Chain A
Amino acid sequence: MEDKVFELDGVSRSFGSLKAVDNLTLSLGRGEVTGFLGTNGAGKTTTIKMLIGLIRPTSGTVRLFGGDPTVSATRARIGYMPEMAYYYPYLNVRELLSFYGGVCGMDKQTVKARTDELLEEVELVEAAKRPLKTYSKGMLQRAGIAQALLNDPDLLVLDEPFTGLDPLARIHFRNLLKKLRGQGKSIFFSSHELGETELLCDNVAIMKKGQCIYHGPVDRLAGDGGGNLERLFLDVLKKGGVA
């Protein structure tokens, strides 16, 4: 069994003259929850895209469960929720999950059982027959987390999962992530929500201009200045690292 769920080793990615990610080395251990922080354009989404095999790095290596994430079979053990997807507006959430189940190669009975379970979990049972085009942003986020959890993944990769959620939905989502952490799932999520990150994460990684300027435990970061994550995040960004 692998120690590391994923490993990025000296990874860089350029788009023309723009270096979106620069020599990034980062890893996630089994059962760890890591928050991926940084300002807009810091390279978080590009890193996530490389991690799940959507794009290849210009240099360096990305290993997911010891394999190459661009090989489709390697992605069988991950669940991914993008920053804001609109999914398929003409499908209802059951059809959406049935479709993704088929794409994951799951059999119909398993998909049905898992769908029932997840709809309860994300509180979409009552809206299950409504087309997704009638869903609010928060409901779409919940449909998004349901599709990410459908194949019971070992690693959850979430890009800005708290975006668009109202306070109640946010609390519910936070509790869901805590429950998943309790089940031993590894979770890696990018966020601008420092409060949520502080509540959920074992570790944080902070990106600035494509480089990781801090990767380590939240409490160590908090301990350095004895303050909250928000203030420390700003300090780290200003200093360019932690002393």
Chain B
Amino acid sequence: MKGSMRRIGALVKLSLLELWRRNDMFALLVLSLVLLVPLSLARPFGASGATRYFDEVALLLVWCYSLFIALGIGGRLFTSEFANRTVYPLLAKPVSRGELLVGKYLGAVVASWSALAFFYILWVASSLLRGGECLTVCLFQAFILHALFAALAVAAAVAGSFLLTPSASTTLLAILFPAMFFFGRHLPDYAENVSGVLRGLVNAFYWIAPHAEFFDMRQRLVHGWGGVEAGVFLAVVGYGVVYSAVLLFLAHFLFKRKRL
């Protein structure tokens, strides 16, 4: 057990080093600063409604960035190992494919969480500068759920990279997640209005697809509606954990079958 933890720890550290030494990560962070700070500090005509609107846009950008980071990190987590042939000496060490998967996944999740924490700190700082009261339970819940979504997106990208080519997988997920984020909640209504096989397909898709919208608490945060009930919060946490675990099991299955 101790040896296994040490191996996983080394893999987590490797993933973190890999991600934080890449220039594109810094480019994204600088871009986020350039876009988020003016948006968060804007006070058009002193109208509170307009300020909230800018706040909401800023948070939407945070969602977009976190999704791109998660998909980018997850998508190349193993493809770079195969492309550089580093997977061979690595798997010749006393490390199992399961440990390799878990270690690299955890490293990627921690890296994406650190970027997410940076975005939220920026948003909170700008909100506090404007005299807002954002350090609430709602903010805590919003961050936790957003972080879980990032973990789920990384798991999806990792599983996708074993199933499809990296670019195809990332493109597909970059369409699927925003589509679910904006339209996922409307799928049951849509299913009501169609019939036959299509209704079955829409319903099946509704139950199978990852519900990004479950993790979205932007409206509550911006409009000060307060947090969700503990039961609902825990249910979404459970959904995120189970969904990510299923994706990781799928990734492990595909990794074991992959021809080396």
Contacts of A144 in B (CB 8 A): 89
Query: A87-B84, A105-B3 in contact; A54/B9 too (CB < 8 A)?
Result: no
Interface: A68 (CB within 8 A)? no
In the assembled complex, the Cα of A89 lies from the Cα of B14 at a distance in Å of 12
Residues from 1 to 31 in B contacting A, C-beta threshold 8 Å: 3, 6-7, 9-11, 13-14, 17-18, 21-22
Count of chain A residues with a beta carbon within 8 Å of a chain B beta carbon = 38
* Residues B10 and A99 in contact, CB atoms below 8 Å apart: yes
Residues from 175 to 218 in A contacting B, C-beta threshold 8 Å: none
Residues from 210 to 231 in A contacting B, C-beta threshold 8 Å: none
Contacts of A95 in B (CB 8 A): 17
Count of chain B residues with a beta carbon within 8 Å of a chain A beta carbon = 27
- Closest A residue to B95 by CB, please name it: A103
Q: Measured between C-beta atoms, what is the minimum distance from A55 to chain B in Å?
A: 6
Contacts of B84 in A (CB 8 A): 85-89
* Residues A105 and B89 in contact, CB atoms below 8 Å apart: no
Contacts of A74 in B (CB 8 A): 94
* Residues B7 and A105 in contact, CB atoms below 8 Å apart: yes
In the assembled complex, the Cα of A83 lies from the Cα of B92 at a distance in Å of 13
Contacts of A15 in B (CB 8 A): 259
Interface: B85 (CB within 8 A)? yes
* Residues A85 and B22 in contact, CB atoms below 8 Å apart: no
Q: Measured between C-beta atoms, what is the minimum distance from A9 to chain B in Å?
A: 21
* Residues A78 and B89 in contact, CB atoms below 8 Å apart: no
Contacts of B6 in A (CB 8 A): 102, 105
Interface: A240 (CB within 8 A)? no
In the assembled complex, the Cα of A73 lies from the Cα of B21 at a distance in Å of 32
- Closest B residue to A81 by CB, please name it: B89
* Residues B85 and A86 in contact, CB atoms below 8 Å apart: yes
Query: A91-B17, A102-B13, A105-B6 in contact; A52/B92 too (CB < 8 A)?
Result: yes
* Residues B92 and A75 in contact, CB atoms below 8 Å apart: yes
Interface: A148 (CB within 8 A)? yes
* Residues A90 and B9 in contact, CB atoms below 8 Å apart: no
In the assembled complex, the Cα of A84 lies from the Cα of B11 at a distance in Å of 22
Interface: B86 (CB within 8 A)? yes
Q: Return the contact of A82 from the options B13, B21, B88, B96 (Cβ within 8 A).
A: B88
* Residues B92 and A103 in contact, CB atoms below 8 Å apart: no
In the assembled complex, the Cα of A87 lies from the Cα of B17 at a distance in Å of 14
Interface: A80 (CB within 8 A)? yes
A–B Cβ pairs within 8 angstroms, 18 of them: A49-B260, A54-B92, A54-B260, A55-B260, A72-B96, A73-B94, A75-B93, A85-B86, A85-B88, A86-B86, A87-B89, A90-B17, A90-B18, A100-B90, A102-B6, A102-B7, A105-B94, A147-B89
Given A72-B96, A85-B88, 12 more contacts at CB 8 Å? A52-B92, A53-B91, A80-B88, A81-B89, A87-B86, A88-B18, A90-B17, A102-B11, A104-B94, A144-B89, A148-B89, A151-B93
